[in-house]
A and B are shown apart, each in its own frame.
Chain A
Amino acid sequence: MLVMIIRRLVQSIVVMLTVGLIAFAMFRYVGDPISQMVGQDTPIQVREQMRQELGLNDPVVVQFARFVGNTVRGNFGISFRIGRPVSELIIERLPATLELSLLAALFALVAGIPMGIYTGLRPDSWLSKVFLTISLVGVSLPTFFIGILLILVFGVLLGWLPTFGRGDVVHLGVWTTGLLTASGLKSLIMPAFTLGLFQLTLTMRLVRSEILEVMRTDFIKFARARGLTPRAINFGHALKNTLVPVITITGLQLGGIIAFAIITETVFQWPGMGLLFVQAVQFADIPIMSTYLVLIAFFFVVINLIVDVLYFVVDPRLRAESSPHGH
């Protein structure tokens, strides 16, 4: 087990270096940040001097080596656009993204699993059909469209919810949270729903198909024959057996939620890392872009690692197979 974790960590460094190198190779096509860092009247010589000072004239490999060297020493550079250390900016923005992502994932699970169970157990009821239709909408409509639609209905027409931002936040050390204020909670509803809707439909469909599958198996028939209550069968036996793949998929999707929060954050002007990244791309703010990409790669690696470890814990067969002492 320990060997596997160490091996995985070494692999993750390779993954992150690769992501970084690909990112740097692409940055040449993102454009030149200088023209936005100075005013229109700024002389060409001054611009050229800035470019030199920032090392933008160096070959990609040199820039990349410098980035890796600085990163190893914990220095992520200074944002061209905001003029502050990238590490500070990321730490400031991380709570917003994590809070939104976790809430969206929670919403997807809390609503998705019961809906999946219901549609699995009663595939022909009219409510199941309603749920399935909703899930079709969730899968087929693009996120930004759902976001704008929600803003239009609940923000502009009804005026119930704020249309942008995080509302008032409470500072708890380095962490900021919107969960403790009324305006913060109100601001979370639409973005979390928008971000979680796709995951919800995915979870629901997964649970549904698993339930349908499990209900056909022999041990459920056997349980019925034993005269167990439907409640015990449905929740004690059927649901338990469906949850293993659900946990796996949810874990893997969490990385996706964090990474794809970009769109939701842009639509709702949510001050998280995704918005920071989008604006960095428009500005060709290389320090932020590179740090963000490597950080997201890191998230994916860590989440994958945790899922792998969980697999070992949950599934006894895997443990048996990898054990050197064997049978």
Chain B
Amino acid sequence: MRLNFKALGLAVALVVAIAAAPPTPQAKELHWAFQGDIHSMDPYSLNETFSLGTLGNVYEGLVRRTADLKVVPALAVRWELKEPTRWRVYLRHGVTFHDGRPFTADDVVFSYKRATAKGSDVGGKLASVTDVRKVDRYTVDFITSAPNPIITSEWETWMIMSKGWADEHQADMPEGPSGAGASYAHLHENGTGPYTLVSREADVKSVFKAYPKWWDAKNHKGMPDRVVMSPIASASTRVAALLSGNVAMAYPIPVQDMKRVDDNAGTHMLVGPEVRTIYLGMDMFRDELLHSNVKGKNPFKDKRVRQAFYQAIDEDAIAAKVMRGLATPTAIMVAPGIIGYEKSFKRLPYDPEKAKALLTEAGYPDGFELHMDCPNDRYVNDAQICQAVVGMLAKVGVKVDLLAQPKAIYFGKILPPKLDTDFYLIGWQPDSFDSWNPLYNLLNCPEGKKGRFNLGGYCNHEVDKLTAEILSETNQKKRAAMLHKVWGIVIHDIATIPLHQQALAWGVSDKITVKQRADNVFHWYHVDMK
């Protein structure tokens, strides 16, 4: 008995000793925190910026984007237009997946099939592609339904998976929502990217280590050897983790804490305009608003009313006060950095007198009543922006009943099929970094696949016509002219009320340098550990 106790004691002591032993010294270990976790290790399961951005450290697409969002070769070395509807893509030689399998054309063909299969959420990135054909081991042809000059624009986040690996582990189909968890690819990875997954506990911690055979390792000498990603949901805890040095990088930092991070010795803020545009939409398709005291007609069908709303809202005050200066007011629905953005478009000035006059002219001298919908946990200070808007509209006589709700409820209410909203705040970030995406999704007449997220039902057939032409126009000069024209129409019509681009807010330790991407994607090879 006595001996047993001794043995037990020894065993416990051993366990403690092993556990307490300091890990082998890691010269360049990066700890960082985000507010949430990725949904899955499967790069086709959720088309969302953070998930795909993080998986971009493990998997790679045929192209990638530089820190300033330019498309450059990755797994493809070059691509050329053979015919108007056939792109030839030449693949990189000598690349291996993390399990050692070589990367070839078969993997590209397989990845196309898997990404466009049922259950995949990234199929839209290949919407114009009708077929992918292997030409030889390192050459692939992409056949499109119509000429598509921006075919590569969404390929960074269409990541290439290994056919052999997927076959071996029965992961050749993407996980559907209800069958989730069954797929091997949900918990394991086999990419070609700079990092391999070491261990993962959802919501707790994921550990990655550098892949020594990464094809581009020689150009990123300063990148961390090991990366520990910890989701921290509570903003104040996240900030504390950064200030205390428990993590070397954390985002997003709430606007009210930015000064603290900057004032703290050893940390600083990295801010810049995000490519997401925050805007207000108005129901202009119903003959009568759902929640208004105006009966028998819809005031938003009258452009004067839309303009009155626009000019009654003091966006400069919102940017300065609600956003504490960390927002860039915008007249156009796309951000700087998106193809088609132009500085020359100016916002209509803030002018409550004019707004009042316009309302009177439209037949609402005493204003009217309506409901507004707003998320309260989706965008930076979203509910506060809406409160400010409500106050400003009250000054011109419009009485707004604000309903600010968590995103889980908000989107269910305002998205189709319900479309239960008069007036709403929402944000949009084009995954392709091209104006065609917001034009097609947000501003085309809602018919068929067009205008799927045009919740207000704005409809101008000239915009639709130009949008279709922009998609297939390969002459860049002509295309730019068309973009200028179409944005001019949208802005003139006051199809929406664009507010601003919110700021990216990364808190960074002084011990590292980071390149910040305007789409809020954090690639660890952009870190330089000093």
Contacts and interface: CB of A to CB of B under 8 A. Distances in A.
Interface of A: 29-44, 47-48, 50, 53-54, 78, 80-85, 89, 92, 148, 151-152, 155-156, 159, 162-166, 168, 170, 180-182, 184, 266-269, 271, 275-276, 278-279, 282-284
B130 interface: no
B408 A170 contact: no
B47 A83 contact: no
22 contacts: A30-B408, A31-B405, A31-B412, A32-B408, A34-B412, A36-B407, A36-B408, A39-B121, A40-B47, A43-B124, A53-B177, A84-B202, A89-B202, A148-B236, A155-B244, A182-B20, A266-B233, A267-B234, A268-B237, A269-B231, A271-B201, A278-B233
B176 interface: yes
A285 B121 CA distance: 19
Contacts of A80: 177
A38 B240 contact: no
Contact of A282 (B16, B231, B406, B415): B406
B178 A78 contact: yes
Nearest to A154: B244
A200 B205 CA distance: 32
Interface string B228-251: 001111101100110111100000
A42 B16 CA distance: 50
Given A37-B46, A283-B408, A155 B246 contact: yes
Interface string B255-271: 00000000000000000
A78 B180 contact: yes
B175 interface: yes
Nearest to B45: A83
Given A32-B411, A266-B233, 13 more contacts: A30-B409, A31-B412, A37-B46, A38-B47, A41-B47, A47-B415, A48-B417, A53-B177, A82-B39, A84-B181, A164-B246, A267-B236, A269-B233
Contact of A267 (B40, B124, B237): B237
A168 B45 CA distance: 30
B177 A164 contact: no
Contacts of B16: 180-181
Contacts of B244: 151, 155-156, 159, 162-163
Nearest to B260: A156
B46 A39 contact: yes
Nearest to B17: A180
Given A78-B181, A271-B203, A35 B412 contact: yes
A85 B441 contact: no
Interface in B27-47: 33, 39-40, 45-47
A85 B240 CA distance: 32
A148 B175 CA distance: 39
Given A41-B124, A275-B233, A282 B408 contact: yes
A156 B428 contact: no
A38 B203 CA distance: 19
Interface of B: 12, 15-16, 19-20, 33, 39-40, 45-48, 121-122, 124, 175-178, 180-181, 186-187, 201-205, 230-234, 236-237, 240-241, 243-246, 377, 405-412, 415-417, 428-429, 431, 437, 441, 449, 452-453
B85 to A, nearest CB: 23
Contacts of B45: 83
A168 B19 contact: yes
Contacts of B201: 92, 271
B205 A165 contact: yes
Contacts of A152: 240
Given A78-B178, A83-B181, A282-B406, A35 B234 contact: no
B203 A83 contact: no
Nearest to A34: B412
Contacts of A82: 39, 202-203
A32 B178 CA distance: 15
B126 to A, nearest CB: 12
A266 B35 CA distance: 12
B47 A53 contact: no
Among B15, B186, B244, B409: residue with most chain A CB under 10 A: B244
Given A81-B39, A148-B236, A155-B244, A39 B47 contact: yes
Contacts of A43: 124, 449, 452
B203 A279 contact: yes
Contact of A163 (B122, B240, B412): B240
Contacts of A48: 417
B240 to A, nearest CB: 5
Contacts of B437: 41
Top 10 A-B pairs, shortest CB-CB distance: A39-B47, A32-B412, A31-B408, A31-B409, A35-B411, A83-B180, A284-B408, A271-B204, A181-B19, A163-B240
B403 to A, nearest CB: 13
Contacts of A31: 405-412
Contacts of B234: 266-267, 269
A200 B243 CA distance: 30
Contacts of B232: 164, 269
Contacts of A267: 234, 236-237
Given A32-B408, A42-B121, A44-B417, A37 B202 contact: no
Nearest to B20: A182
B408 A33 contact: yes
A32 B409 contact: yes
A269 B240 CA distance: 12
Nearest to A55: B178
Nearest to B183: A83
Contact of A37 (B15, B177, B233, B416): B177
Contact of B47 (A33, A42, A271): A42
B197 to A, nearest CB: 16
B453 to A, nearest CB: 7
A170 B19 contact: yes
Contacts of A32: 408-409, 411-412
Contacts of A44: 415-417, 452
A184 B12 CA distance: 15
B240 A53 contact: no
A54 B178 contact: yes
A307 to B, nearest CB: 32
Contacts of B449: 43
A44 to B, nearest CB: 5
Given A33-B408, A48-B417, A54-B178, A42 B124 contact: yes
Contacts of B431: 39, 41
Contact of B241 (A29, A42, A54, A163): A163
B351 to A, nearest CB: 33
B199 to A, nearest CB: 11
